[in-house]
Amino acid sequence: MYYSGSRFGRYLNPLMVSCVYLFLYLPIIILVVFSFNDGDFAGGWKGFSFRWYHAMVHSQEILAALRASLIVACSSTILSLVFGTCAVISTKWLRWERWLNVFYTNVLIPDIVLGIGLLCLFSLLNLPLGYKSLIVGHTVLGLGFVIPIVSSRFNQIDPILTEASLDLGATQWQTMRRVVLPLLTPGLMAAGLLVFTLSLDDFVISFFCAGTHVETLSVYVFNQIKNLIDPSINALSTCMLLISSLSVVCLAYLNILDEVVHSD
């Protein structure tokens, strides 16, 4: 309900909005605060300290999980951008745009369905689970976000620019490298940041496709909290939250920059 016309609504509406934001962000605030706690999580506040950040940095398990997550995230981001850009440009130039709708279903399909489907596919093909299966799974997930963003940006490019390049003697490769790709750069950067963040935070596909030899950060956190609450997890989660927040800020900045350039 909206009670802006009454004096009661003048105080009720801000109160309701504040309660919603408090419900959403209070657990995150508690997590960040207790990551600087000198004592154990269950022991209450014992004082400000970087103790658990120090333990996180010197934990070989956390560093191995971080290395695995970065390898998978960087590889899947690059592959998603390359395959997604090639798919968009080729289908647009060949006028096969309807085939791009296949990748839009990745956004609608639940992650658990996609993870189980990928696991069944790897089992059917007798492919071992590990880095390769993780990268393939995250690349498939990333294509569902890269293709819509790159396709939307490609549709904003004036066809006169590419036609002028071809009329002046440039080949299709030269036109794509010197005209199309520079104009697609803001969209590629935005899609890359989004896919990198999704891959770094993903749990479901990593859980089904990682196997027993590779453990990403999300899977490591899940395995740790099943046994006990290690305060190092709070520090690790705070760092992941910071990385995700910075990625969102960069993504918003690129979108604003893209709109400004497109308006000019």
Which pLDDT value is given to residue 224? 78
Q: Give me the pLDDT at residue 79, please.
A: 94
Would you state the pLDDT for residue 2?
Answer: 47
Beta strand extents in 1-66 (DSSP E only): none
The residues spanned by each domain of the chain are 54-263
Triad 228, 229, 232: Cα angle to 5°: 125
Q: What is the pLDDT of residue 185?
A: 85
Question: For position 257, what pLDDT does the model report?
Answer: 67
Question: What is the number of helices (H) and of strands (E) in the chain?
Answer: 12, 0
**Token pair for 32:** 């960040």
Cα gap 226→215, rounded to integer Å = 15
Contact 69, 200 (CB under 8 A): yes
In this prediction, what percent of the chain has a pLDDT beyond 70?
86
- pLDDT score for 82: 92
Q: Taking Cα atoms as reference points, which of 19, 73, 52, 57 lies closest to residue 214?
A: 73
CA distances from 104 to 13, 27, 74, 85, 162 (A): 37, 33, 22, 14, 26
What's the pLDDT at 228? 65
pTM: 0.77
- Burial (CB < 10 A; 0-12, 13-18, 19+), residue 83, is middle
pLDDT at 138: 92
Task: Check: CB of residue 109 under 8 Å from CB of residue 44.
Answer: no
- Please say whether the beta carbons of 38 and 49 come within 8 A: yes
CA-to-CA distance for 69 and 219, rounded, in angstroms?
A: 10
What CATH number does the domain located at 54-263 have?
Answer: 1.10.3720.10
Residues in CB range of 160: below 8 A, 6 or more apart: none
Q: Which residues of the chain have pLDDT under 70?
A: 1-9, 41-43, 93-97, 100-101, 227-229, 254-255, 257-264
Q: In Å, how far are 119, 141, 148, 178 from 105, measured between CA atoms?
A: 18, 10, 11, 32
**What pLDDT sits at residue 74?**
92
In DSSP terms, 37 is beta-bridged to 48
